[in-house]
């Protein structure tokens, strides 16, 4: 079975401001559009069979820029939507600590089992994603599929692939804007081939144009 390319969407305006951007439908920033074009260049020579995307605008726009090179239409997949951060949507790390420190500390200790107030736990999010993974390996046995999703969802998928506890996804995994990870089916599960690659964002002599928040 071939590889599946798991992509975190390019930078949004709220990513640049370090604001939690779960279900809030925020557009890409100008930097994000540049990152998406770099992603499109990276995938230009790949025979992409299908492209799936979260329904949120920042993911859809990233997917559309990639898909344009291949003459295909991204398929919107509702289960790929970002974690629901509930009452914390739009807040910065400092604002949450100031306004809701007790709940934040409980969530930070075990984000797999604990949900933000009015939001969703990592376990709940992964439960809605795993059927989509099962569908991918059945429908696309040759691989070469690009999936555009979000930071937390991408880290939960990596935990699932590696058998890591979901309580560790924030402490042990980084996922930058426009990063590419590769997973590959391997009975009875999956194998991680590449994690958080942003080499396509670099211009010779410069650092990659990426802005990643504390969450």
Q: Which residues belong to the active site?
A: 9, 82
Residue in 118, 13, 19 with CA at minimum distance from that of residue 57:
13
Buried b (16+ CB within 10 A) or exposed e, 20-41: bbbbbebebbebbbbbbbbbbe
- Give the separation between CA 114 and CA 112, rounded to whole angstroms: 6
Burial level of 159, CB count in 10 A (0-12/13-18/19+)? buried
Helix, coil or strand: residue 11: coil
Helix, coil or strand: residue 127: helix
């Amino acid at each position: 079975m071939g590889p599946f390319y798991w992509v975190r969407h390019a930078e949004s305006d709220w990513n640049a401001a370090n604001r939690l951007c779960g279900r809030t439908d925020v557009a890409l920033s100008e930097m994000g559009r540049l990152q998406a074009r770099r992603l499109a260049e990276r995938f230009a020579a790949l025979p992409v069979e299908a492209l799936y995307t979260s329904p949120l605008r920042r993911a859809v726009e990233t997917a559309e820029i990639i898909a344009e090179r291949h003459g295909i239409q991204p398929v919107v997949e509702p289960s790929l939507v970002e974690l629901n951060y509930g009452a914390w949507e739009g807040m910065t790390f400092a604002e949450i600590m100031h306004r809701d420190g007790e709940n934040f500390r409980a969530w930070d200790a075990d984000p797999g089992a604990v949900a933000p107030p009015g939001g969703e736990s990592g376990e709940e999010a992964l439960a809605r994603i795993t059927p989509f993974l099962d569908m991918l390996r059945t429908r696309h046995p040759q691989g070469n599929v690009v999936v555009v999703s979000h930071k937390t969802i991408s880290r939960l998928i990596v935990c699932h692939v590696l058998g890591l506890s979901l309580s560790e996804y924030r402490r042990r995994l980084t996922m930058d804007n426009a990063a590419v990870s590769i997973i590959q089916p391997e009975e009875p599960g999956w194998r991680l081939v590449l994690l958080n690659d942003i080499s396509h964002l670099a211009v010779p002599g410069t650092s990659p144009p990426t802005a990643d928040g504390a969450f």
